[in-house]
Amino acid sequence: MTQPLRTAVASIFILAATATAPASKAEEFKKENFNYSTFAKGAFSEAVTVTGPAKTIYLAGIGSEDPDDGSVRHKDDFLAQCRFAWSKVAAALKANGATLSDIVKATSYVTDVRYRDEMRQCRKDTFDGIPLPPHTFLQVVALARPGMMFEVDVVAAVPAGK
pLDDT value, residue 13: 41
pTM (2 d.p.): 0.77
Pairwise CA distance, residues 102 & 46, whole Å: 15
pLDDT of res. 11 = 43
- Ordered by start, the domain boundaries in the chain are 24-159
Q: How confident is the model at residue 45 (pLDDT cuts 50, 70, 90)?
A: confident
The domain defined by 24-159 folds into 60s Ribosomal Protein L30; Chain: A; (3.30.1330)
**What pLDDT band is residue 41 in, cutting at 50, 70 and 90?**
confident
pLDDT recorded at residue 47? 84
**Residue 72: is its pLDDT beyond 70?**
yes
Lowest mean pLDDT among 5-14, 20-29, 43-52: 5-14
pLDDT higher than 70, residue 61: yes
CA distances from 4 to 10, 11, 29, 110 (A): 10, 11, 41, 71
Q: How far apart are the first and last CA of the chain?
A: 50
The predicted model gives 100-122 an average pLDDT of 96
pLDDT at position 89 is 97
Helices (H), 20-160: 78-95, 116-126
